[in-house]
Amino acid sequence: MHDHHPHHPHDHDHDHHGSELSPMEARVRALESILVEKGLVEPAALDAIIDTYETKIGPRNGAKVVARAWSDAAYAQRLREDATAALAEFGFSGRQGEHMVAVFNDRDTHHMVVCTLCSCYPWPVLGLPPVWYKSAPYRSRVVIDPRGVLAEFGLQLPAGKHIRVWDSTAEIRYLVIPERPAGTDAMSEEELAELVTRDSMIGNGLPRSPERRA
Amino acid sequence: MNGAQDMGGQMGFGPVVAEADEPPFHAEWEKRALAVTLACGAMGHWSIDASRHARETLHPLDYLGSSYYEIWIKALEKLLASEGFVTDDELRAGRALVAPRTPNRVLHAAEVAAALARGSPSERPATQPARFAVGERVRTANEHPAGHTRVPRYARGRIGRIEQVHGAHVFPGTSAHGLGEQPQWLYTVAFDGRELWGRAADPSLTVSIDAWESTLEPVA
């Protein structure tokens, strides 16, 4: 433990002296250079990790899975029975998705996912979590007032609809399979994937309707 | 521990504010913070549970005043210092001052894709049968350990129903403290909203947590 850092990030602001580095930029650079100097981390490995989450892994992965589940009843069944294995059919596996469960919205139930204790999130299918998912407002409220949270995302569910919130308190990660929008019978799997938003796979949104396809 | 990280049911944080077309990172340092955290974890000297505990043991003012990646970096500095990889003097100086402790492993670029695709599964072979079955009623223990726990305060001492049985998984209560994996059966336990939040609760709400066997008691 060290006590030389003032504890609020903004406390550092007066230390800039014209430097363009923010306090956290300077702090992380210093840490990285110590670790590299000591041979504990390899810079190229850091670049490879960043590249993975910037360009290779993101919510388009999950959208492909949802579109397949909508198009292929046998696949949907495999996803229900063993989501980890069903996702591996796409090559989606690994860190923060080692043990996956898919939860299916239907006429009666709307699912929402949170991690109140940290910010657990299914990285292989959704990428890194958005800031709001990691934020105190979401983590504190979705378990007690999910309809209030949904309203802030512009979503009003019927009063009788059952809301099922999954607090990710272990290493099980949850993927919401939203309901297939009406009017999409003729669409291909690729077209369907375009309707699947990240938020619809967390539970704070619904898929796009076909006429509003981005 | 009853720390600032245990947010479920707290009030006063304001609305959830989403950013349209949010990028994966908001600054260069956030990228490096993610990468050094994962690369240092790959050295193999602490568990993900120990990482979480390092984060939740930040002072509540610090935890609540820090962004996600700021929390990660502050926790990583603590872990590196406590494991003898980096000294406080080095963090102050911003450069290496003493010879490094040799890590178990160093993650190389060529191994990154495979390491991320493999992850760190927490399931272990079960050595005894599960105590609870799907549908059974259980009560979460009303315990307030000073160390790491994954039972959120809002769900302690509450009656729920076993909804899924997930096999035996590494127990964070020991794993976070270097006391071994001590795997236990893991369950999804679902609670009626009114059991958690009282009569004013949304009547359409069910909330589940994932809970290890030693944190659950049978309900007659």
pLDDT tens-digit series, residues A79-110? 999 999 999 999 999 999 999 999 999 999 99
- Burial label for B20, CB within 10 Å (0-12, 13-18, 19+), is exposed
Does position A193 have pLDDT exceeding 90, yes or no?
yes
- The dihedral through the CA atoms of A70, A123, A198, B196 has a sign that is positive
Q: Residue A7: is its pLDDT beyond 70?
A: no
Measured distance CA(A93)–CA(B117) in Å, rounded: 5
Mean pLDDT of B135-157: 98
Is A99 touching B (CB cutoff 8 A)? yes
* Cβ B164 vs Cβ B134: under 8 Å: yes
Mean pLDDT of chain B: 97
The residues that bridge with A163 in the sheet, in sequence order, are A110, B205
Tokens coding B99: 């010879």
Residue ranges, CATH 3.90.330.10, chain A: 58-212
Strands annotated E in B80-127? 123-124
Cβ A49–B116 below 8 Å, yes or no?
Answer: yes
pLDDT value for A20: 75
Across the interface, whether the CB atoms of B39 and A132 are under 8 A apart is answered no
Per CATH, which fold does A58-212 belong to? Nitrile Hydratase; Chain A (3.90.330)
* Confidence at residue A211, expressed as pLDDT on a 0 to 100 scale: 82
pLDDT number for residue A65: 98
Q: What is the pLDDT of residue A213?
A: 53
The residue that leads in pLDDT, B220 or A1, is B220
Among residues A113, A114, A97, which one has the least CA distance to residue A58? A97
B123 neighbourhood in chain A, CB within 8 Å: 98-99
Q: Are A22 and B29 in contact (CB < 8 Å)?
A: yes
Amino acid symbol at B26: H
**Are A172 and B154 an interchain contact pair (Cβ–Cβ within 8 Å)?**
no
- Whether chain A has a CB inside 8 Å of the CB on B28: the answer is yes
ipTM of model: 0.98
Mean pLDDT of B15-26: 95
Q: Find the mean pLDDT for residues B103-125.
A: 97
Among candidates B34, B196, B201 on the partner chain, residue whose Cβ is nearest the Cβ of A53: B34
CA dihedral A69, A75, A76, A81 (to 10 degrees): -140
**A41 vs B36: CB contact, 8 Å cut-off?**
yes
Residue in A36, A46, A121, A198 to test binding to B, most B beta-carbons within 10 Å: A46
User: Averaged over B167-180, what is the pLDDT?
Assistant: 98
Task: Note the pLDDT tens digit of each residue in A104-158.
Answer: 999 999 999 999 999 999 999 999 999 999 999 999 999 999 999 999 999 999 9
Percent of chain B clearing pLDDT 70 (strictly above): 100
Residue of B8, B88, B151 lying closest to A143 (CB–CB): B8
B18, A132 contact by CB (below 8 A): yes
A203–B contact, CB cutoff 8 A: no
Q: Tell me the C-alpha distance between B210 and B188, whole Å.
A: 4
* pLDDT tens digits, A21-40: 899 999 999 999 999 999 99
Partner-chain contact A30 B94, CB within 8 Å: yes
Q: Which two tokens stand for residue A135?
A: 């934020």
Number of C-beta neighbours around residue A187 at 10 A: 19
For chain B, give every domain's residue range. Answer: 28-118, 123-218
Residue A4, pLDDT > 80, answer: no
Q: Determine the residue type at A200.
A: S
Q: Is A209 an annotated catalytic residue?
A: no
CA quadruple B23, A202, B58, B214: dihedral sign: negative
Q: Which fold has domain B123-218?
A: SH3 type barrels. (2.30.30)
How far apart are the C-alpha atoms of B44 and A61, rounded to whole Å? 29
For B26, name the nearest residue in chain A, comparing CA atoms only: A131
Are residues A41 and B36 in contact, defined by beta-carbon separation less than 8 angstroms? yes
Mutation for testing the A interface, residue in B101, B207, B215 having most A CBs under 10 Å = B207
Q: What was the pLDDT predicted at A21? A: 85
Chain mean position to CA A5: 31
A29 Cα distance to chain centroid: 27
CA distance A153 to B177: 39
pLDDT band at B220 (very low <50, low <70, confident <90, very high): confident
Backbone CA torsion sign across B123, B125, B127, B129: positive
Average pLDDT of A41-65? 97
Protein fold of B28-118: Cyclin A; domain 1 (1.10.472)
pLDDT at B145 over 80: yes
Average pLDDT, chain A: 92
Per-residue pLDDT, A70: 98
| B123: contact with A, CB 8 A cutoff | yes
Alpha helices in A54-119 (DSSP H): 59-71, 73-81, 83-88
- Catalytic residue at A119? yes
DSSP H helices, A89-212, are 123-126, 131-134, 136-141, 146-152, 189-193, 198-202
Catalytic, out of A19, A33, A118, A135: A118
Tens digit of each residue's pLDDT (9 = 90 or more) over B22-58? 999 999 999 999 999 999 999 999 999 999 999 999 9
Strand partners for A165: A112, B207
- Contacts of B191-196 with C-beta under 8 Å, sequence gap 24+, read B191/B155, B191/B158, B191/B159, B191/B160, B191/B161, B192/B160, B195/B158, B195/B159, B195/B160, B196/A143, B196/A144, B196/B9, B196/B154, B196/B155, B196/B158
SS3 B160: strand
